[in-house]
Amino acid sequence: MRDSSLAPLLAVFYGCGFLAGFNENLVNMALVAIMGDFSVDAVTAQWLVTGYMIAVTVVVTCMAYLYRRLTMRALFFMAAGLSIVGSLGGLIAPDFAVLLAARLVQALGTGVFIPLMMNVIVDRVPHERMGTYLAIGSAMITVGPATAPIVTGFMVSGLGWRSVFLVPLAAALLLTAAGAFVVRDRREPTRGGFDVVSALLVAVGVTLLSLGLSEIALHPPVGAAALGGAALALGWFARRQLHLARPLVSMEPLRHGSFWPAAVLVMIAMTTYFSLSVIAPLYFEEAAGLSASAAGVLMVAPVLANATAAVLAGRALDRRGEWPLLPAGLGIAVAGLAVTITGALAASVAVATVGIFFGYLGTGMVLSPAQTAGLRRLPDELNAHGVSLMSMAVQLSACLGPAAYIGVMSAASVTATAAGVPAAQASAEGFAVAMAVSAAVAFIGFASAVVYARRMARR
């Protein structure tokens, strides 16, 4: 398939994917300054991050409907407009409530970009090359959140916290200008009702899930109650989709034996990636005593390894298939996490950094190939729903991984501190325990990948 319009179109959407990923970690380095300016505590300020992820998850859930209801061009300009408005709101917000509202508007816009990019690739790229193109998109998405703390850290120090919103504002304006020339399609929108109840169930379920995982280690009754509520809400959502004539997102792809195991592998890879992205910098700063800028520099090589591995693994999938790529990636990730634990317990930052590098490398080998493996075998009429479910898997992982592993790390650190362990060592032990849990989950993924990849190879 040779389409002269495809390259510039994908260039714009790859830029959108990077922007969406960048926005996920946009305010992380600005939280302390925001807390001081608006006199809010850390729990309240954290909603600028958690609220963003919840809003993105809800938008992703609605994307199958939106992709069916609107043209690609209309979706693109709607998303770009919301991103611009949200960034402007953050730039001039007079109080915390307005800042939070602006952040949610920004999430509604940029939350469209990732599944829209994936839909374009699935619809317009031949299946035998889908792995390469999805891998490039995956690399852009993963580099975005890793780049944000480095860029915004310097901006907060030099220009104040409001300056961080200048980056997405300028990027959205640039992408809008480029998209005006290249974003076009010939799809005819189809009418259909929007199920508000389903969207609300996802919002409630993801909110309770994040709350439950973050509280279960420190406050078990609160965490258990929240997780129970999340299970009810998300279970009700899934059951509702099965009984609606036009579901918000069809569960039909999950009936395909090539799809649902791939979605599980995506969640395991992304949970590992996101947990490393959040708690590795905490280890560098709290346990190793490094500055935020030094911690950011140490994370550059692992992130680049992840992005490079994603592109190379996507090409390998197109040429050789799932075996032995997927098991090898998760095997490398497990080995990397084991080395990370050893380094943390031995107070060796160098060893821990090497382990983190291979943890990132291994997950980079799995994410995009697993997505491709699940999507390329679906019937065409289920493509949009498959993309929505895969994107939901990614966003749920972004909510679940950090919440769960930070909870484990905090609980282990508190226990060590109570036993009289020095603060830095307690942080290192908490980090090691969280990595041990992550390694156990990744090992389950490795075993699952062996079974899945061999089955796909026999096909």
pLDDT digits (tens, 9 = 90+) for 227-245: 899 999 989 998 998 888 8
User: 3-state DSSP call for residue 356?
Assistant: helix
| CA-to-CA dists, residue 120 to 35, 211, 250, 319, 370, angstroms | 40, 34, 19, 22, 18
Query: What is the rounded CA–CA span in Å between residue 371 and residue 376?
Result: 9
pLDDT tens figures, 337-368: 999 999 999 989 999 999 999 999 999 899 88
Q: Considering only CA atoms, which of 438, 446, 317 is closest in space to residue 377?
A: 317
Quote the CA–CA distance of 308 and 361 in Å, as a whole number. Answer: 8
Contacts of 346 (CB under 8 A, 6+ apart): none
DSSP 3-state of 70:
coil
pLDDT at 357: 95
CB 324 within 8 A of CB 267: no
Query: Cβ distance 167 to 147 under 8 Å?
Result: no
CA distance 143 to 256: 31
CB neighbours of 389 closer than 8 A, spacing ≥ 6?
Answer: 249, 253, 254, 259, 263
- Provide the token pair at 344: 């943390």
SS3 324: coil
Reading the chain (459 residues) residue by residue, the pLDDT tens digits are 445 578 888 899 999 989 988 888 788 777 778 888 888 876 677 788 778 888 888 888 888 788 888 888 889 999 999 999 999 999 999 999 999 999 999 999 888 888 888 888 888 888 778 888 888 887 887 778 777 777 887 788 778 889 989 999 999 999 999 999 988 876 677 776 788 898 899 889 988 887 887 677 667 888 889 989 999 998 999 899 888 888 888 888 888 888 889 999 999 998 888 778 777 877 887 788 877 667 777 878 888 888 888 888 888 888 888 899 999 999 999 999 999 999 999 989 999 999 999 999 999 899 888 988 888 888 878 887 888 888 888 877 877 777 678 778 878 888 888 888 888 899 899 999 999 999 999 999 999 999 999 998 887
pLDDT in tens, 71-110: 888 899 999 999 999 999 999 999 999 999 999 999 998 8
In this structure, are residues 353 and 173 in contact, taking their beta carbons and an 8 Å threshold? no
Buried b (16+ CB within 10 A) or exposed e, 29-66: bbbebbbebbebeeeebbebbbbbbbbbbbbbbbbbbb
- Tell me the C-alpha distance between 341 and 41, whole Å: 32
Lookup: tokens for 415: 């226990």
Q: What values do phi and psi take at 72, rounded to 5?
A: -60, -40
Structure tokens given for 366: 């799995």
The pLDDT of residue 236: 92
Centroid of chain to Cα 43: 21
